[in-house]
Amino acid sequence: MPWKANLLRPLPIPRKPSPKQVKEGSSAAQDRRVIYNDYKIVLIIIIVVI
């Protein structure tokens, strides 16, 4: 899955981020958190079903 590679990839650390980069970075982090939560929910469902 493409998002899994995204999770494992280390975040780039810019020396002086512009406000736009900061905004994009925070939204990317939010997306990552949402995906991670979905992944946890799926895991819990699988465990409960088994």
Reading the block at residue 17, the tokens are 């981020």
State residue 29's pLDDT score.
66
> Does 9 fall in a domain?
no
Map residue 14 onto helix, strand or coil.
coil
Contact indicator for 21, 14 with CB cutoff of 8 Å: yes
> What residues make up the domain containing 42?
20-50
* pTM for this model (two decimals): 0.35
Radius of gyration in angstroms for the set of CA atoms belonging to the chain, rounded to a whole number: 15
- Our count of domains for the chain comes to 1
State residue 44's pLDDT score.
85
Q: Give me the mean pLDDT over the 20-37 stretch.
A: 66
State residue 12's pLDDT score.
57
pLDDT tens profile 3-25: 555 555 555 555 565 566 556 66
- Close Cβ partners of 14 (under 8 Å, ≥ 6 residues apart): 21
> Does 45 fall in a domain?
yes
